[in-house]
Amino acid sequence: MKCPHCQSKMKRELMEDRVPVYRCVSCAGTWVSSSEFADWVEGQSSVPVKEEISKESVNIPVLGARKPLLCPDCGRIVRRFKIWPNLEFYLDRCGGCNGIWFDQHEWEVFNEHWSVKNLNMFFTDEWQQKLKKEEMASRFSAMYLERFGEDDYNKIQEIRKWIYANSNKNQLVAYLLDSNPYES
């Protein structure tokens, strides 16, 4: 098998916990074939995915510009997937056979923070949609913060929470928006 990134030779390796992979002798990228990974992961007990990861704790590998990759197993184009909201960390996965590519250091970083046992979860529609939703929410949050300023934004969030938890929600909103609620 040839490296999809630099066309050098790839050699067989067993990563920690004996995950069978191909590793490029030149660029140190790692290819995980889908069926081999499925066999391996089936025998593994799952580990919980962390709820939160601080951006600062992830040492994102710096990569140069790169051409799109072609899958070394089936020849189709490999797609980039974001892994975590608001974090510029991507993995590449083949749309044809589901093989996965890690550029140099990406395997180690991924395994440290998310565990390779959870690898497939990050490519599901469910996860990818959740990720986009969270990114959207943080963009809105940043917009409100800029519009209102920190103090007012904190205050309005508290008021909103209180109103929405109240069984008289509609009357409270009506009272609030009425310029003179003491006149008929």
DSSP designation for 18: G
Footprint of Zn ion on residues 140-169 (CB under 5 A)? none
CB of 31 or CB of 84, closer to Zn ion: 31
CB of 9 or CB of 155, closer to Zn ion: 9
CB of 29 or CB of 122, closer to Zn ion: 29
CB of 5 or CB of 131, closer to Zn ion: 5
Q: Least Å distance between CB 8 and Zn ion?
A: 5
Q: Least Å distance between CB 18 and Zn ion?
A: 23
Q: Least Å distance between CB 6 and Zn ion?
A: 3
Tokens of 16: 């920690």
Figure out which of the listed residues 19, 94, 100, 119 binds Zn ion, where binding follows CB under 5 A: 94
Instruction: Count interface residues toward Zn ion (CB under 5 A).
Output: 15
Distance of CA 128 to the CA centre of its chain: 7
- Phi/psi at 156 (nearest 5 deg)? -65, -30
Cα–Cα distances in angstroms (integers) from residue 10 to residues 17, 21, 31, 67, 165, in the given order: 20, 9, 9, 19, 58
Cα–Cα distances in angstroms (integers) from residue 17 to residues 28, 41, 108, 166, in the given order: 19, 10, 13, 52
CB of 25 or CB of 142, closer to Zn ion: 25
Contact stretch for Zn ion (CB under 5 A) within 1-9, 13-21, 39-47, 55-63? 1-9
Q: How far apart are CA 57 and CA 49, in angstroms?
A: 16
Tokens of 2: 């040839």
Footprint of Zn ion on residues 15-74 (CB under 5 A)? 24, 26-27, 29, 71, 73-74
Q: How far apart are CA 154 and CA 103, in angstroms?
A: 41
Residues in contact with Zn ion by the rule CB under 5 A:
3, 5-6, 8, 24, 26-27, 29, 71, 73-74, 94, 96-97, 99
